[in-house]
Structure 1
Amino acid sequence: MKRYLTRASQPSPGRMRMFCFPYAGGGASAYAGWQSRITADIEVLPVQLPGREGRMNEPRFTDLQALVAELDEEIGPELDHPHVLYGHSMGALIAYALAQHRYVRGSRLPAALVLGGHRAPHLPAPLPDDPGIRDEELVRLLDGHGGLPRVLLDHPEWLSALLPTVRDDLRLCAAAGTVDRTPLPVPLHVFGGSEDRLVTVDEVREWTRYSTAYGETLVVPGGHFFIREEDSFLDRLSALLRRYESRPDLAGAGPTDARQG
C-alpha cells in the first residue's frame, strides 16, 4: 500500500475514485465515514500527509512544490486511473497544485477538481505565516476567523499538540502565490460555506477562472468546516459526483461559473 493512502485499493474498470486532501492541521480521518455517504460507484481514498495521525513521527512538508512532487511520485500510478481530486482549505491548494504538476508533466488529469474553503491562489493568504506569533495569539486568531474545529477548543490538550502542525501547514499555504495559474482543461467545482469567516464566497468564486472546461461555485450552509458541520454538503457532493461515476472521462460541460445557492 502507498504510504499516502490509508488503505489499499484495486482500480476496477469504470469505477471512479476520489482522492481527498485534508485541511491545515488535519489528517485523513477528516474523511472518515464519507464512503458510506457518497454514491457507491465512487471509491473514497483519504490521503494521509506526513507529520500527522499515523505518520506523526515523519517530518512535515512546508514546501508546497516538494510535497506535490512526492505525492505524484508516490500515488502517481494510482492517478493514472479515472479519478477526482477533493481538497478542503489547505487540501484544496494541494489538490490544485498536484493537478498543475501533472499537467506540466503531461500526465493524466482528474476528471474533475472539487475544492472547498480556500481562496483562489492569486488572492493573499487569509492567515499570516508568522513564526514569532505566540501560541495563545495564534489560537485567538484562528478562532476569531472560524479556522479551528469546535472540538479542538473543547480539548485544550489536543489543541496544544496540534499547533506545531498548524504552524507548518500555514507555511505551506503561504506558497499559494507560487502555484502555476494556468487554467486547466478540467471541470472545477468549488464549494464555499455561507457563514465562513475565513474565506468568503466571493473569494472562493475566484477559482472559476482557473478552468477552461467548466467552473461553478456552490454555496452550502455552514462555516469554514462545513465538511464536518452540515449533512447538506455531502448530499450536494454526492449529487455532483454522480455526473462522473458512469462516465469517468467526462470532460465537463456547461456555462462558466454556474452559481448555486
Structure 2
Amino acid sequence: MYLRWSRFLPNWVNIVPVELPGRGTRLNETALEDFDALVQSILDDYQGYMQQPFAIFGHSMGALLAYGICQVLAAKNSISKQLALPQILLLSACPSPDKFDPSRFPDTHDRDALIANLRQQGGSAEALFDYPELLDMTLNILAADYRLLQGFQYKKTSPLPLFMQVLSGKSDDISLDNLSTWQQHSAKKIIFHEFIGGHFYIQDQQSLVLKRITQALQNHVPTNNHCLQGHSEIALT
C-alpha cells in the first residue's frame, strides 16, 4: 500500500516502507515478538535513511513502533547529537502507549477468533477468506503481531521534543480519550485529525490522508525561500 502512495505524493517525498521480519520480502525470516528487540532491529536496518530530513508515519502497531523508535532516538540524541530526530511523527489508529491494553487482543492460538478479528478490522479483501493457504499466512502474521503487542510494557519517559500529529478513524473502536492522551507524550502541541471510516480509514480516505501528510511535511521540512530542499524521507511502518 505505502509504495502506491508515491504516485500521489510530491516528488520531493521519498517513501521508505519498513519491512519487518516475517513479512513481505522477509517472509522467510523469523518474526520478532519482543517489542524492544524489534525497535532496535528497525533502527539498525533503517538508520541510513535518517541522515537527512525525515518523518516517520506509523499505523496501528506501526504507530507504537514509531513511538518506540523515537524514544530511543531521543534518548541517544540527548547524549550524542549524531542521531537525528524526525521533523514530525505521524501516528495513526493507535491509543497512546500509557492507554495501550495488551489484553484486548484475541487468543493467538484460536484460529476462529483470529479470523473473526480480521473480519472485524476490515481492510482485507473478502477473497482472502476463500484461499486457505493465503489466509493461514495472514493469520500467522497477525498472531505474531498480537504476541508482540501482548508483551508490550509501557515505560514512562520524558515527553518527546517532537511535532506530532495523531490521525484516527471516526468508527474505529479506539476512544477519543485514549487518543487525546498522546498529548502527554510530546513537549509540543499535538494536532489531531479524525477521518470518516474505521481502523483502515487510510485505505477508504486515501486522498484526504495523503493531503494531510503532505501538509504536515510542508510545514515541518526545512525550507529556503519557500522551496523544499532535497528529499524528505518518510519511513512507514
TM-score by length of 2: 0.82
Q: Is 1:49 equivalent to 2:20 in the alignment?
A: yes
SS at match of 2:6: helix
Determine the structure 2 residue equivalent to 1:24: none
Determine the structure 1 residue equivalent to 2:127: 154
Q: Is 1:102 equivalent to 2:73 in the alignment?
A: yes
C-alpha contact 1:88 1:115 (8 A) present in aligned 2 = yes
Q: Is 1:118 equivalent to 2:91 in the alignment?
A: no
Determine the structure 2 residue equivalent to 1:127: 104
| Offset at residue 228 of structure 1 (A) | 1.1
| Offset at residue 175 of structure 1 (A) | 3.8
The verdict on how the C-alpha distance between 1:189 and 1:175 changes in structure 2, with shifts beyond 3 A counting, is: farther
Greater RCO (CA < 8 Å, at least 6 residues apart) = 2
Structure 2: runs of 5+ lacking an equivalent: 78-82, 225-237
Determine the structure 2 residue equivalent to 1:67: 38
The separation in 1 between residues aligned to 2:19 and 2:147, in whole angstroms, is: 18
The separation in 2 between residues aligned to 1:160 and 1:233, in whole angstroms, is: 30
| Offset at residue 104 of structure 1 (A) | 1.5
RMSD value, Cα = 2.0
Q: Is 1:81 equivalent to 2:52 in the alignment?
A: yes
Which string of whole-angstrom CA distances, capped at 9 and with x for unpartnered residues, describes residues 84-134 of structure 1?
Answer: 0000001001111011011112232111100100111111137326344x1
> Which amino acid counterpart does residue 8 of structure 2 have in structure 1?
R
Count of paired positions? 214
- Deviation >4 Å, runs of 4+: none
TM-score by length of 1: 0.75
1:166 to 119, 134, 142: 142
The separation in 2 between residues aligned to 1:126 and 1:188, in whole angstroms, is: 27
**How much identity, in percent, do the aligned residues show?**
26
Which string of whole-angstrom CA distances, capped at 9 and with x for unpartnered residues, describes residues 18-44 of structure 1?
Answer: xxxxxxxxxxxx312111212332221
Determine the structure 1 residue equivalent to 2:187: 212
SS at match of 1:207: helix
The separation in 2 between residues aligned to 1:202 and 1:95, in whole angstroms, is: 20
Determine the structure 2 residue equivalent to 1:188: 164
| Offset at residue 206 of structure 1 (A) | 1.8
Q: Is 1:223 equivalent to 2:198 in the alignment?
A: yes
The separation in 2 between residues aligned to 1:174 and 1:182, in whole angstroms, is: 24
C-alpha contact 1:127 1:170 (8 A) present in aligned 2 = no
The separation in 2 between residues aligned to 1:50 and 1:61, in whole angstroms, is: 7
C-alpha contact 1:194 1:201 (8 A) present in aligned 2 = no
The separation in 1 between residues aligned to 2:155 and 2:11, in whole angstroms, is: 33
